[in-house]
Amino acid sequence: MFAVLKKEINSFFATPIGYLVIGLFLLLNGLFLWVFKGEFNVFDSGFASLEPFFTLAPWIFLFLIPAVTMKSFSEEIRQGTLELLLTKPISSWQLVLGKYLGALALIILALLPTLLYVVSIDTLSRTDSHVDLGVITGSYFGLLFLGGCYAAIGVFASILSPNQIVAFILAVFLCFISFFAFEALADLNLFSLGAFGPEDLGINEHYKSISRGIIDTRDLIYFFSFIFLFLALTKFNLDSKKSVS
């Protein structure tokens, strides 16, 4: 697994894709938070808060993470190297986890420079009203879990097609549905399930919950189950290809 993980990380930075993804993530967030006027601009909000960042980042991740994961298996299938990988002494789970953790490592590297935003916000705030580090820590955990869910979807989408563009579009669609659709469905009030509603099936509800700074076991179970589901689906498709070959 670690050999696959190392290969994935090296492939990201052997080509411009790793630098491009991190650069675009930081550039887009920086422009919307500090330059462009609007609801995401920190100066326009009048509050020492990173809430605009944690609202904007999931939508940027919606496109950037599928761009990272689209080649995970698609490129292997297109080049015919997947069959070679399947003949090596490595299990399907190790191969899937190696690909997944490689994408997750790039997401973490993209998030690390944004810690400067915390320092900037704290510096800009008044001395008697420092930022709430508990909420910010929870929000970063939420963003990390969100990125993990998107990456699991992206890896799954990449094994369904040898075409990277198809894998990218499918991943964006599935990420959008998982993040937004269930909450939109709940707004229609078509279902009445008491304490449990359609929004509880979506990522956004649990992302907002953990972003309050409270680590709820229900949210953790949801995120880990979601990630496991899509990685298991990826393994199932990989085993199907192995049996065919």
* C-alpha closest to that of 68 among 19, 119, 26, 103: 103
With a cut of 70, say whether residue 121 has pLDDT above it.
yes
| Gap between the Cα atoms of 206 and 184, Å rounded | 15
| b/e burial code for range 231-242 (CB count within 10 A of at least 16 → b) | bebbbebbeeee
With a cut of 60, say whether residue 198 has pLDDT above it.
yes
Question: What region, left, alpha or beta, does residue 191 occupy, with left being phi > 0 and alpha being psi -120 to 50 degrees?
Answer: beta
* Mean pLDDT calculated for residue range 67-93: 86
pLDDT digits (tens, 9 = 90+) for 129-174: 566 778 888 899 999 999 999 999 999 999 999 999 999 999 999 9
| Gap between the Cα atoms of 81 and 101, Å rounded | 20
With a cut of 70, say whether residue 195 has pLDDT above it.
no
